Amino acid sequence: MRITDQRKTLAKLFGENKGYLSAKDVYEHMGRKYSGLSFDTVYRNLRVMEELGVLEQIVFEDGVKFKGSCNHQDHHHHMICLQCEKTYPINFCPMNLTDTPDQFRVVKHKFEVFGYCKECEENREEELVAAANHKKGV
């Protein structure tokens, strides 16, 4: 794989941004620097970087997003907050409990748990109470 200026810019973007970005987010950012850049080129570069292990791809309810691979050296999975997208490592792999048939060879797997971190859950509860009180006319 050639290391182009666009790929360097892409790597820098994910190095500076610790959160998740959609392909559209990346395309809009990259398009400011590279006029004429196609969405297909951006997506292809994201896929290549994901295959090389530089980026992680996660499927959210609103679509696929990417983020720089975490620096954990050991095999692990993630819990991801649906509100703020903060990520917490899970140091347990459910594949260890899976009875894989002899006629099947696992080459890769993913396991993510989605929910709400403590701070976002508290904010959600406050918003629900406020909405209920507003509805009652309190």
Question: What does the chain come to in residues?
Answer: 138
The helix-helix angle for 23-33 and 5-16 (nearest 10°) equals: 120
Instruction: In the chain, list all ranges with CATH 1.10.10.10.
Output: 1-69
What letter would DSSP give residue 102?
Answer: T
Q: Rg of the chain's alpha carbons, rounded to an integer?
A: 19
Instruction: In the chain, list all ranges with CATH 3.30.1490.190.
Output: 73-138
Distance of CA 93 to the CA centre of its chain: 18
Residue at 68: amino acid letter: G
> Distance (Å, rounded) from C-alpha 117 to C-alpha 65?
19
| % of the chain exceeding 90 in pLDDT | 49
Instruction: Give me the pLDDT at residue 30, please.
Output: 94
Averaged pLDDT for residues 77-106 = 90
Q: Does pLDDT of 74 surpass 90? A: no
The CATH topology of domain 1-69 is: Arc Repressor Mutant, subunit A (1.10.10)
| Residue range 73-138 in CATH 3.30.1490.190 | yes
| CA 113 to each of CA 8, 19, 80, 109, 122: distance values in angstroms, whole numbers, following the listed order | 31, 16, 6, 14, 19
